[in-house]
Structure 1
Amino acid sequence: MHRSLYRLIRAFAPLGLLLLILANPVPARANTLLVVGDSISAALGMSLEQGWVALLAGRMAESHPGYSVVNASISGETTDGALRRLDRLLQQHQPSVVLIELGGNDGLRGFPINRFRNNLRQLALRSQEAGAKVIIAAIRIPPNYGSRYATSFYDSFGLVAEETDSILAPFILENIATEPELMQGDGIHPTAEAQQTLLDNLFPSIEKALQ
């Protein structure tokens, strides 16, 4: 009697497990694009609705309606600060794509290249470990910080992207930084009129990640 009951339990155990999985499915990863950036992505000097990330959300609503865009950018943010926040952001939003727009403040503060590069690498790797594709947006700093430092700083973006198999987006202020009418009075931040160009610079890389 006991032996027959044991055989019966063994025979139907897989079916019971399948029914349990169907009744409690593992939640799918959210179709979320998380932007982790500094003042350029936080729309400094204008309303958030005017910034390139808000414009991206509008474009995504048409081209990729299943995606949502989360802007976790903070003015003044460095790679140090972003690393402290990243794990919580990844857990909270479970993004499928992470766009890292950071480094400008590191460069302006003269962060050692190795420190900056390692931070950038960790941001990419942690995001990938959480299941996200990673886009790294390149940034340049003024040459008055020294040509050697400025060159090593800019090269870091390509090196880290290659090391981590991330997507490298071009210089985020391409066709903007050299146009005074598209830059705010501080010469560092783009105007509201420049935001569409900024999005156009990044969108091909974003589309590549979404594929």
Structure 2
Amino acid sequence: MGIKNTLASIAVAATILVASTAARAETLSIVGFGDSLMAGYQLPSSAGFPAQLTQALQARGHDVVITDSGVSGDTTADGLARVDWSIPDGTDGVILELGANDVLRGLPVSETRSNLEAIIARLQDRGIPVLLAGMLAPPNMGGDYAATFNAIYPDLAKRHDLMLYPFFLDGVTGNPGLELSDGMHPNSDGIKVMVENFLPVAEQFVGSLQAE
């Protein structure tokens, strides 16, 4: 009887171990939530940021898929209006990239900040971690506007304990060889540079999701 009980205990323990291992091995589902910079304006989906970042992370051994939920032209207000239905249940994490169109339209910085904070709050209320991708105002917006706008992202990251990538277009802005003819959007090579620069923070974010 003792041997049977021991074997039964071993079987139960093995089942729990297998189940635990399977749970850890599930593919992480991350959503790239943003505007045309996330959507890959005028690029095939395979050349966009979510697809290229997925490939880069998988090449480094991470079992993760990043879904593209970027909409060209979206402001932070547009993002707030669609965040509840654009981020499906079961999402493990969100890369939040919005604000560039707010700057282009010269929208009040207070509105941009409020919208981003509301998006973050809604995601956190659902238990979805956020990696915040920052944006910088161009110099032609004026020093006061730029300083106030640029402070949004580090301030929100600190307030809500988020991982922050300070400038989503780092390494691309001002480099014509990495931009489309409009001088604003990255081409496929530009996306590649963005992914290379973003990868260390993305790996930290994936690691934090796996640790939960």
TM-score scaled by length of structure 1: 0.81
Residue 199 of structure 2, aligned match among 200, 203, 210: 203
How far the C-alpha of 1:63 sits from its partner, in A, is 3.3
Q: In the alignment, what sits opposite 2:4?
A: none
How far the C-alpha of 1:35 sits from its partner, in A, is 0.6
Q: Are 1:41 and 2:38 counterparts?
A: yes
CA distance in 2, matches of 1:150, 1:104: 12
Q: In the alignment, what sits opposite 1:73?
A: 70
CA distance in 2, matches of 1:154, 1:102: 13
RMSD of Structure 2 on Structure 1 (CA): 2.0
* Cα deviation 1:93-122 (Å, max 9, x = unaligned): 421111011100011111111111011111
CA distance in 2, matches of 1:98, 1:30: 15
Q: In the alignment, what sits opposite 2:20?
A: none
CA distance in 2, matches of 1:83, 1:64: 33
The residue type equivalent to 2:138 in the other structure is: P
Q: In the alignment, what sits opposite 2:155?
A: 159
- State the identity as a percent: 30
SS of 1:168's partner is: strand
Q: Are 1:107 and 2:99 counterparts?
A: no
Q: In the alignment, what sits opposite 1:97?
A: 93
The residue type equivalent to 2:201 in the other structure is: S
CA distance in 2, matches of 1:36, 1:149: 25
How far the C-alpha of 1:61 sits from its partner, in A, is 2.9
Q: What residue ranges of structure 1 are gaps of 5+ in the alignment?
A: 1-27
Contact 1:94 1:130 in 2 (8 A): no
* Cα deviation 1:102-158 (Å, max 9, x = unaligned): 100011111111111011111112112211211111111221111111121111111
SS of 1:72's partner is: strand
Q: What residue ranges of structure 2 are gaps of 5+ in the alignment?
A: 1-22, 208-212
Q: Are 1:116 and 2:112 counterparts?
A: yes
CA distance in 2, matches of 1:30, 1:114: 37
| Larger Rg belongs to | 1
Residue 51 of structure 1, aligned match among 48, 52, 70: 48
Query: Greater CA deviation, 154-163 or 53-62?
Result: 53-62
CA distance in 2, matches of 1:156, 1:208: 22
Q: In the alignment, what sits opposite 1:22?
A: none
The residue type equivalent to 2:35 in the other structure is: D
How far the C-alpha of 1:30 sits from its partner, in A, is 7.2
Q: In the alignment, what sits opposite 1:136?
A: 132
CA distance in 2, matches of 1:76, 1:178: 21
